[in-house]
Amino acid sequence: MFKFLNSRATLAASALILLQGALTYSAIRPESVPSSRPLSQLPGMLGSWKLVEEGLVDAETRGILNADDLLNRIYADGRTGASLFIAAFRSQRDGKAPHSPKNCLPGNGWTPMTSEEIALDVGGPAPIQVNRYVVAHGDERSLVLYWYQSRNRTVANEYAAKFWVVVDALRLNRTDTALVRVIVPIANRDEQAANRAASDFARALYGRLREYLPA
């Protein structure tokens, strides 16, 4: 049924058309912009992971991302470090939207080696779907997890994220979302250890992050 929707190009075009229509329709009404806590208030301790560096985001990058709130940190747990980046958008009406890491990372010199969508146990009633990438930069290897989070909903697929923006714009007159990205280095080519560390950090993060994004 609806086999034509299996085409990625068709999905992308359909999502963009629906999004444009929904945003045009919802622009007639004042948008409902939910309040949220600043990401900078996210705790310095997440489970066994401790904040070790508060990263800066330069003005040029901020201008490109055009997010309403940004967080760029490094946590560590004694075994390894985890880079955390969050870009939160209170509205996507004026052309604002998350930049997909699968496009940004290659632009910064990282080459994708493998990619897949996985179910990640975060300690809730059901696993969440996230993107899992292994990227390379020279001899360095890193494991990347990222997902889109909004209104107590987490999705991995970019097109699904756009679809839910349409749904929320039409039903709730809101278009807020956030991109969450976790990067863990793959030391000694031990991908399994990096995967365990990234999953552990994401689990510790997820339970607290919901307090800082609109419900």
Q: Where are the domains of the chain?
A: 3-209
3-state helix, strand, coil in the chain (%, to 5): 35, 30, 35
Non-local (6+) Cβ contacts of 45 within 8 A are 51
Contact by Cβ (8 Å): 207, 123:
yes
Q: What pLDDT does residue 75 have?
A: 99
pLDDT tens, position by position, for the chain (215 residues)? Answer: 334 345 555 555 555 555 555 555 555 567 777 778 999 999 999 999 999 999 989 999 899 999 999 999 999 999 999 999 999 999 888 878 898 888 888 877 889 999 999 999 998 889 999 999 999 999 999 999 999 998 778 999 999 998 988 898 888 888 999 999 999 999 999 999 999 999 999 999 998 998 898 76
Query: 69-76 and 49-54 as β-strands: parallel, antiparallel, unpaired?
Result: antiparallel
Contact (Cβ atoms closer than 8 angstroms) between residue 134 and residue 114: yes
User: How many other C-beta atoms lie within 10 A of the C-beta of residue 121?
Assistant: 12
Give residue 25's pLDDT: 54
Distances (CA, A) of 214 to 7, 24, 33, 79, 168: 32, 23, 9, 32, 13
In this prediction the pTM is: 0.85
DSSP per position, 119-152 = EE--SSSS-EEEEEEEEEETTEEEEEEEEEEETT
Element spanning 183, H or E = strand 177-185
C-beta of residue 82 within 8 angstroms of C-beta of residue 75:
yes
> Residue 96: its pLDDT value, please?
86
d(CA 29, CA 40): 31
